[in-house]
Amino acid sequence: MTDTNPTQTYSELTALRTFMGKPSELAAKKSIPQLDKHCREFISRSPFVCIGTTDGNGKADVSPKGDPPGFVQVLDDKTLFIPDRPGNNRIDSMSNLLKDPAIALLFLIPGFDETLRVNGKGTVIRDQTLNATSTVKGRSPKIGIKVKVETAFLHCAKALKRSHLWDPESVQNRQEMPSLGRMIIEQTTPAGTKADPTDISDADDRVQESIRSHLY
């Protein structure tokens, strides 16, 4: 039978749920209101987290953060601390949290196809004790995000298995795309204007200098 309405936009949860069906019993009940021993160990092994925030007016942001495994500190079963390392000072995540404290975290571990998702409320803080315990190679963060955990749950492996993210055969050749500096200059050069090679070279130099001076 031919679908007489092949394109449909959903704006109401009941209709979407009717179309998609119910989640499995395991998926429905896996969310917990605190960090248990499995969540704690997962976070202690994770060197990478994606931080999702919103400004409360429809503008969302996802920012990656990485450091040695366990850089996100578990202060207790309901509280996390994420140190902020020197970067480009856009402070997108922290700016959003000042307007809307809702925060979502996605933790990854190299070699694990499962991920950990944590949702809660974030606060931008400057705590000298927490900064000191986040010191890496003699350098401490100036500021960080404290997260009050509301829900946490482990996410199954299907997405990472489909993507072959950790498969060495899936590694792509970075040289097949332009340098970061070139791409940014070309993206910000007015349409119809050719990017200046000097600007591209300067941008590449600035990117490399930022990595050298701000990595720790």
Domain range annotation of the chain: 24-163, 172-214
The phi, psi pair for 17, rounded to 5°, reads: -65, -40
User: For 9-29, how does the pLDDT look when each residue is reduced to its tens digit (9 = 90+)?
Assistant: 999 999 999 999 988 887 777
CB 69, CB 44: distance < 8 Å = yes
Q: What is the mean pLDDT of the chain?
A: 93
Is domain 24-163 annotated with CATH 3.30.43.10?
no
Say if strands 79-84 and 102-108 run parallel, antiparallel, or are unpaired.
unpaired
CA dihedral 181, 185, 187, 193 (to 10 degrees): -150
Looking at per-residue pLDDT, the higher value among 1 and 14 belongs to 14
165, HSE (Cβ side, Cα atoms, 13 Å): 14
Token pair in block for residue 153: 């749950």
Using one digit for the tens of pLDDT, what is the confidence trace for 153-184? 999 999 999 999 999 999 999 999 999 999 99
* Residue 153 near residue 92, CB atoms below 8 Å: no
pTM for the whole structure: 0.91
Residue 138 has pLDDT above 80, yes or no: yes
pLDDT band (50, 70, 90) for residue 4: low
| pLDDT for 41 beyond 80 | yes
pLDDT band for 96, please (50, 70, 90 cuts).
very high
Q: Residues near 6 by Cβ (< 8 Å), separated by ≥ 6?
A: none
